Amino acid sequence: MLVDVEGLVHIYRTDDLEVVALQGLDLRVAEREMIAIVGRSGSGKTTLMNVLAGVEAPSAGRVQVAGHDLARMTGAERESYRRDVVGYVWQRSQVNLWPELDARENVQLPMLAERRPAREREARAADLLAALGLEGRRRRRPRQLTGAEQQRLALAVALANEPRLLLADEPTAELDGAAAQSLLADLAAVVRHAGAAVIMVTHDHQVERYVDRVIQIRDGRTSTERRWVERAEGVVADELVILDRVGRLQLPRHLVEELGLRDRVRVRREGDSLRIFRSDGAGDG
Q: Residues 61-70: pLDDT tens digits? A: 999 999 999 9
- Higher pLDDT residue, 245 or 148? 148
Which segment of 17-21, 136-140, 164-168, 240-244 scores lowest on mean pLDDT?
240-244
- Residue 107 pLDDT: 96
**If pLDDT is split at 50, 70 and 90, which confidence band does 159 have?**
very high
Q: Per residue in 17-28, pLDDT tens?
A: 888 899 899 999
Please determine, for residue 284, whether its predicted confidence score (pLDDT) is greater than 60: no
Which segment of 10-19, 139-148, 174-183, 221-230 scores lowest on mean pLDDT?
221-230
**Domain-wise residue ranges, the chain:** 3-250, 251-285
- Provide mean pLDDT across the span 113-125: 92
Average pLDDT, the chain: 88
- Residue 281 pLDDT: 59
- Residue 205 pLDDT: 82
User: Which burial class, exposed, middle or buried, applies to 187 when counting CB atoms under 10 A from its CB (0-12, 13-18, 19+)?
Assistant: buried
Q: For the stretch 13-37, what's the b/e string if a residue is b when 16 or more beta carbons lie within 10 angstroms of its beta carbon?
A: eeeeeeeebbbbbbbebeeebbbbb
Kindly report the CATH class assigned to 3-250: alpha beta
- Residue 236 pLDDT: 64
Which segment of 93-97, 122-126, 242-246 scores lowest on mean pLDDT?
242-246
Show Cβ contacts of residue 42 under 8 Å, excluding neighbours closer than 6 positions: none
Please determine, for residue 285, whether its predicted confidence score (pLDDT) is greater than 50: no
Q: Per residue in 224-257, pLDDT tens?
A: 888 766 677 766 666 777 776 667 777 777 777 7
**If pLDDT is split at 50, 70 and 90, which confidence band does 127 have?**
very high
- Residue 16 pLDDT: 78
- Provide mean pLDDT across the span 26-40: 93
Contact (Cβ atoms closer than 8 angstroms) between residue 128 and residue 137 = no
Q: For the stretch 146-159, what's the b/e string if a residue is b when 16 or more beta carbons lie within 10 angstroms of its beta carbon?
A: eebbbbbbbbbbbb
- Residue 235 pLDDT: 61
- Provide mean pLDDT across the span 132-153: 94
Which segment of 80-89, 107-116, 161-170, 260-269 scores lowest on mean pLDDT?
260-269
